[in-house]
Amino acid sequence: MGDLGRNRTEVVASARRIVVKVGSSSISGENVGQITPLVDALASVHGRGVEVTLVSSGAIATGMPHLQLDSRPADLATQQAAAAVGQNLLIFRYQESLDRYGIVAGQVLLTAGDLEHPTPRSNAQRAMERLLSLRILPIVNENDTVATQEIRFGDNDHLAALVSKLLHADLLVLLSDVDALYTRPPHEPGAERIEHVPLGDDLAGVKLGDIGSAGVGTGGAGTKIAAARLATQSGTAVLLTSAAQVGAALSGAHIGTWFDAAPRTHTGSLSTVPAH
């Protein structure tokens, strides 16, 4: 564990480019107040010169109350309408909080097709690289207003892994409502926290269940593991923990579940098919 501890501390401390992903249930509804501590943690990292990108779900969940919806809509058109309203409000809330630090956010909305084809992928990469060089904080989400079931990423964990790969990030932090990956759903008896996942570990024997609150999000433990594998294979270390612990996570505390990264290699296209 000593070597792991040093490795984690060194990776977090030396990371020059970090991607943080937060789920819908962590920053919407009764948890909307968590935007403030999340921004505090991002601003702290930004303030020490790190280039940080936020991948934030929550457009549909944020828009639902304004469409008088009590649950996530099942039909695509209403999802798109909720996203159109919610994305605007979500970015406003982030910018309002970032104003305390004099940080400007830049909205980046992507579809799976944008990262699947070379020309739009190159355009997205160039735009985000420029935003980071200008010290703007990109806030990325799937473009739910125009995305269809056939061209969706599937979940923002996968999107965050692709963004990490696109930007050659040193670290990806996946935030949910649960503090780590467990050997079985954490509410079940005998569940044990998994502190460290070596590169190539197939996590045999781990019983997967949902991570996060039901009803507004689309991700679970399986999507986070698949995203972590995609990111680590391209050279980005991954930390999975709860949104409530983001400050500690970005300071290098030994919390959550740490996934080792492969040695950095130069890769070509980005696959939009989740790893399993």
Q: Is 168 exposed, middle or buried (0-12, 13-18, 19+ CB in 10 A)?
A: middle
Q: What is the pLDDT of residues 97-116, one digit of tens each?
A: 999 999 999 999 998 788 88
- Please indicate, yes or no, if residue 124 is contained in any of the structural domains: yes
Residue 207 is assigned to a ligand binding site? no
Question: Does the predicted TM-score (pTM) go above 0.85?
Answer: yes
Q: State the greatest distance between any 2 C-alpha atoms of the chain, in Å, as a whole number.
A: 52
**Whole-number Å distance between alpha carbons of 215 and 221:** 15
Are the C-beta atoms of residues 161 and 270 closer than 8 Å to each other? no
Residue 21 is assigned to a ligand binding site? yes
- Please indicate, yes or no, if residue 274 is contained in any of the structural domains: no
Domain with residue 14: its CATH number is 3.40.1160.10
Angle in degrees, CA 56, 242, 271, rounded to 5: 50
Are the C-beta atoms of residues 78 and 45 closer than 8 Å to each other? no
Q: Per-residue confidence at 164, pLDDT binned at 50, 70, 90?
A: very high
Answer yes or no: is pLDDT of 149 > 70. no
- What percent of the chain is modeled with pLDDT above 90? 66
Residue 156 is assigned to a ligand binding site? yes
Residue 177 is assigned to a ligand binding site? yes
Residue 176 is assigned to a ligand binding site? yes
- Please indicate, yes or no, if residue 264 is contained in any of the structural domains: no
Residue 179 is assigned to a ligand binding site? no
- Please indicate, yes or no, if residue 271 is contained in any of the structural domains: no
Q: What is the mean pLDDT of the chain?
A: 87
Q: Per-residue confidence at 54, pLDDT binned at 50, 70, 90?
A: very high
In the chain, the amino acid numbered 177 is D
Domain that holds residue 252: 2-259
Q: What is the pLDDT of residues 223-234, one digit of tens each?
A: 899 999 999 999
The predicted pLDDT at position 167 comes to 97
Count of the separate structural domains present in the chain: 1
- Please indicate, yes or no, if residue 275 is contained in any of the structural domains: no
